[in-house]
């Protein structure tokens, strides 16, 4: 498939679609559309220049960051990737490498089509940044998942590995 970039040049983009089982879809950079299909899939991105990442119809779809960058999902702001590029994602694996995730409550709600819960995996070299102030979120270190902290407002939930730096305003 082809698209026209900002300079008016024609560019090619890949479409990678998984099967009915649990798949690993690896975007090799460039303007790719990555779709896991049915099953619990892993969608790996190595840069921010992909077009769209869709987990599919499974309930455990993982977005894995395969190089070092800040995945900023806050929508409609200059220089940000925005949440409209993602759907069907239940887990984000920051994968060490110094990656960080920045999101709003709206972004959190748009990531998963089925659960309204997003789990973040990572290590002490990773960070999650969010401003949930005035939105009724509470923090619980007594998460139903051992080793994780839960942020919940009764509608949507963010579950973050305790090893990840958590810069979250409540």
Q: What is the pLDDT of residue 158?
A: 95
Is the pLDDT assigned to residue 107 strictly greater than 90? no
Is the pLDDT assigned to residue 5 strictly greater than 50? no
98-112 as b/e: b if 16+ CB within 10 A = bbbbbbbbebbebbb
Share of the chain above pLDDT 70, in %: 77
pLDDT in tens, 32-88: 676 677 778 888 888 777 777 777 776 788 888 888 888 888 855 544 555 567 788
- What residue segments make up the domains of the chain, in order of their start? 15-169
Where does residue 80 rank: exposed (0-12), middle (13-18), buried (19+ CB within 10 A)?
A: middle
């Amino acid at each position: 498939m082809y698209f026209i970039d900002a300079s008016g040049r024609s560019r090619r983009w890949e479409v990678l679609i998984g099967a009915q089982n649990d798949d690993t879809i690896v975007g090799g950079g460039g303007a790719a559309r990555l779709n896991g299909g049915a099953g619990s899939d892993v969608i790996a991105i190595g840069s921010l220049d992909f077009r769209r990442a869709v987990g599919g119809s499974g309930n455990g779809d993982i977005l894995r960051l395969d190089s070092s960058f800040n995945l900023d999902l806050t929508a409609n702001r200059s220089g940000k990737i925005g949440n409209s590029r993602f759907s069907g994602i239940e887990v984000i694996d920051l994968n060490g490498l110094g990656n960080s995730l920045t999101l709003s409550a709206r972004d959190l709600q748009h990531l998963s089509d089925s659960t309204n819960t997003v789990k973040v995996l990572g290590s002490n070299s990773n960070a999650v940044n969010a401003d949930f102030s005035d939105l009724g979120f509470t923090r619980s270190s007594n998460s139903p998942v051992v080793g994780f902290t839960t942020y919940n407002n009764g509608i949507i939930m963010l579950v973050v590995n305790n090893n990840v730096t958590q810069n979250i305003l409540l």
